[in-house]
Amino acid sequence: MRMATRISLSMLEIPRQFARFTGVGFISAFGHFGVLIVLVQGLEAEPVRASVAGALVGGWINYAMNYRYTFRSQVRHRESVAKFTVVAAVGLLLNTVFMWLGVHVLAAHYLFSQVLTTVLVLVWSFGANRLWTFRA
């Protein structure tokens, strides 16, 4: 295969992976938001703490599906789980800070804050997981 063809095919793979990553993100966000809403609405938990609990649930869903589906990783789980944990910890920190700013500083509704936070953390986690966690 010629070099130009290889480059153009690899350039197409990034948007495809991002689309798969986003699809997986919707599924894990369903778990995250589900836990968040149940804790806030059902148990009257504080929204930032409930968001942290939801992020942990969403993270496990995210790892399993991205390992197999998005990145089709061949990296051993021992290595990829350790790297994913670091990326997820940074993502959780970003999630917590952005949620706190949205809910407590901007006085925005917790669900609106979570949607914006999710988009911001999505960009971080795609780049970090693509370039580090699941890279062979």
Domain containing residue 115: 3-133
pLDDT, tens digit (0-9, with 9 covering 90-100), for 50-62: 999 998 899 899 9
Per-residue pLDDT at 54: 94
Per-residue pLDDT at 12: 79
The SS3 of residue 71 is coil
At how many degrees (to 10) do helices 110-128 and 3-37 cross? 150
Which residue stretches of the chain have pLDDT < 50? 1, 3, 5
Residues with Cβ within 8 Å of 42's Cβ and at least 6 positions away in sequence, in order, are none
| Domain count across the chain | 1
Say how far residue 86 (Cα) sits from the centre of its chain. Answer: 12
- How many other β-carbons are positioned within 10 Å of the β-carbon of residue 25? 24
Q: What is the pTM of this model?
A: 0.75
The strand ranges marked E within the chain are none
129 neighbors 87 (Cβ within 8 angstroms): yes
Per-residue pLDDT at 79: 93
The residue type found at 35 is V
